[in-house]
Structure 1
Amino acid sequence: MKHMGTQRGMTLTSFLVVLIVVGFFLYVGMKLFPMYQEYYAVRSAMKSLAKEPGIGDMQPANIQSLFFKRLYINYSDNVKPSNVKFDRKEGGWTLRVNYEVRRPLIGNLDVVGKFDSTQDLNRRGAE
């Protein structure tokens, strides 16, 4: 003999609230994903440069040109030449890429990502 009790579960209202919250986080994720995808492309271009033989002996303008050639393959549009800096160090250079990405979120609210990455570039290239 089964006893018929009250049914327990999610009401339509609570289901809609959960749906709205999940939808909002998916929307924010869709705004953030391209920013981090671009950052990953910047990091891979920097690591690829570090493996280049003789990179530490090149002039910054040549290194910057190689960097952007690698980056434009990945269609990066937020990193500008003014975001790329070089510091002389023993045995080569330190490459620093520092940039900001701003994407509209809702109304007058924006999502801002600040990215700052460094990579040592030695004369012999990375082993």
Structure 2
Amino acid sequence: MRRFQRGMSYWTVLFGVGLFGLIIKVSATVGPIYLDFYTIDEMLKSKFRETQVDKFELRKFGADLQSQMERNNIRDRKVDDLMVLKREGNLLIVELDYEERRKLMGNLDVVVHFKKSYTSERPDGFTE
């Protein structure tokens, strides 16, 4: 009768629970980082869809972005830390370039780097 009984061993269950816990820990650490990037990305795309984005002064554009970031609960970063605002002729160019570092466990950190460029030349603001 014993040879017909089958199932997972103690170590298999322990390994499965540990793997599931690791996946939850990594997603809880990395998820908010990507959520903040997605929020910033959508803010910039919506700003570049505005009709008069070419006429914005850089200071006013930066101040408006900063207030939008605070409204969207991104309070630990400043616009100057995340992106470079510049003007080339009539075009407004925003280069988003920053990295985020979070502690995962022990002496293991997660580093996520984001780099994207937006310009007023295209309607969606995105450039390759």
Superposed CA RMSD: 2.2
One-letter amino acid of the counterpart of residue 49, structure 1: K
Query: How many corresponding residue pairs?
Result: 123
Q: State how far apart, in whole Å, the 1-side matches of 2:112 and 2:76 are.
A: 11
Larger Rg: 1
Give the corresponding residue for 2:97: 98
Query: What does 1:1-127 correspond to in 2, within 5 Å?
Result: 5-82=3-80, 83-89=82-88, 91-122=90-121, 126=123
| Structure 2: gaps of 5 or more residues | none
Q: CA deviation at 1:42?
A: 0.6
The amino acid that maps onto 1:42 is: I
Give, in whole Å, the separation in 1 of the partners of 2:61 and 2:87.
13
Q: 1:108 to 1:77 in 2, by over 3 A?
A: farther
**Residues 71-121 of structure 1: CA deviation (Å, up to 9, x unaligned):** 222111453232221233454211112111111111121111111122112
Distance in 2 between the 1:52 and 1:79 partners?
A: 24
Question: Could you state the TM-score of these two structures normalised by the residue count of structure 1?
Answer: 0.84
Q: Which structure 1 segments of 5+ residues have no match? A: none
The CA distance in 2 between the partners of 1:99 and 1:114, in whole Å, is: 6
More relative contact order, 1 or 2 (CA 8 Å, 6+ apart): 1
CA offsets 1:42-78 (integer angstroms, 9 cap, x no match): 1011011102221111111111111122222211145
Normalised by the length of structure 2, the TM-score is 0.83
Q: Which has the higher helix share?
A: 2
Query: Structure 1 4/14 Cα, relative in aligned 2: closer, same or farther at 3 Å?
Result: closer
Partners of 1:87 and 1:100 in 2: CA distance: 20
In structure 2, what residue type is equivalent to 1:118? S
Instruction: Give, in whole Å, the separation in 2 of the partners of 1:35 and 1:107.
Output: 19
Q: Distance in 1 between matches of 2:15 and 2:99?
A: 33
